[in-house]
Amino acid sequence: MIKRTLFFGNPAYLSTKNEQMVVNFPEEDKPEKTIPIEDLGYLVLEHSQITISNGLLMKLVQNKTAVITCDKQHLPCGFLQPLVGHSEQTERIRYQLNASLPLKKNLWQQTVTAKIDNQANHFLNLGKNALRLKRYAKVVKSGDLNNEEALAAAHYFQNLFDIPEFSRNQKGIAPNNLLNYGYAILRAVTARALVSSGMLPSVGIFHRNKYNAFCLADDVMEPYRPYVDAVVYDIVESGGNIEDLNTNLKSELLAIPAIDVMIDGKQSPLMNAMSRTTASLFECFEGSRRKILYPEF
């Protein structure tokens, strides 16, 4: 089932009644709205004057709905997740924490190879030369010792957009603002799937920054980034204003969890594919599987 993503950019009061989320707009002449909580996958709260009841928060967490809050720059900055995301969570976390270094290096090799392959296939879909990216993908070593990921990313972003001065930088020129927003949504999708699979999003296989609470999410989302890039590319090519991250642009980026991807030979909504990826990752930690299941662009 595809879960809904709701975005709130205006003052609102959110509460619950009869397993429904009740939405009231105090500053607008709009009727009260209700949405079944079981249909909600992601709730993005952008405006500082949004009030949400504790009863609703409790039901959202129990439904494993990702509640995302935004900062003054309107970028997602917080993510509410359940303390217990899986019935076997303690055992699953133990497998994750006990993963050997060779296993983690192998999993990172698989992840980087899948990411570069998807970047290359994105280029091929756009009619761009992907030979260098394909070469990078073929020579990734265990643990990515030669940092093929960074080499591929530099080439990829230098040639993705027809903007001569563009480089990938969080504080750089547009469409970096669109990429930042899209990646933040993807990160929340990944963290939600990891928690549902009984793992800690903060303990990564490669990323290990002590200030980063989502290291594993940042690892697992890497092969999915080209799907965000594709959405942003289409927005840029449409010729509209991309300097201002307005509501229309956000609505296009908030559709990312529901876009179709190919995984294991079948089409699946990205949010569902991510759940299959995180489930396969646990099986790798457990020892019942050797490869992470990633989508193919």
- pLDDT tens digits, 116-146: 999 999 999 999 999 999 999 999 999 999 9
What is the homologous superfamily of the domain 89-286 according to CATH?
CRISPR-associated endonuclease Cas1, C-terminal domain (1.20.120.920)
Which CATH number does 4-80 carry? 3.100.10.20
Spatial distance between the Cα atoms of 139 and 47, rounded to a whole number of angstroms = 46
- Report whether pLDDT(228) > 90: yes
- Report whether pLDDT(268) > 80: yes
| Residue (of 120, 75, 99, 95) closest to 223 by Cα position | 120
**Packing angle of the helix pair 225-237, 176-196 (nearest 10 deg):** 150
Q: Per-residue pLDDT tens for 233-261?
A: 999 999 889 998 898 999 999 999 999 99
DSSP 8-state code for residue 206: S
Give 6: exposed, middle or buried? Use CB within 10 Å, 0-12, 13-18, 19+.
middle
pLDDT value of residue 1: 67
Spatial distance between the Cα atoms of 283 and 292, rounded to a whole number of angstroms = 8
Instruction: State the amino acid at position 97 in one-letter form.
Output: L
Given pLDDT bands bounded at 50, 70 and 90, which one contains residue 164? Answer: confident
First to last CA, the chain: 22
The torsion defined by the Cα of 119, 124, 126 and 132, in degrees rounded to 10, comes to 60
Strand bridging mode 66-70 / 40-45? parallel
Domain extent listing, the chain: 4-80, 89-286
Average pLDDT, the chain: 93
Instruction: Give backbone dihedrals phi and psi of 50, rounded to 5 degrees, phi first.
Output: -100, 130
Looking up tokens 């040639």 gives 159
Instruction: State the amino acid at position 129 in one-letter form.
Output: N
Do 48 and 10 touch, CB atoms closer than 8 A? no
Given pLDDT bands bounded at 50, 70 and 90, which one contains residue 297? Answer: very high
Spatial distance between the Cα atoms of 95 and 88, rounded to a whole number of angstroms = 11
CA 54 to chain centre: 26
Annotated binding site: 149, 207, 222
Annotated binding site for Mn(2+): 149, 207, 222
Looking up tokens 């899986």 gives 86
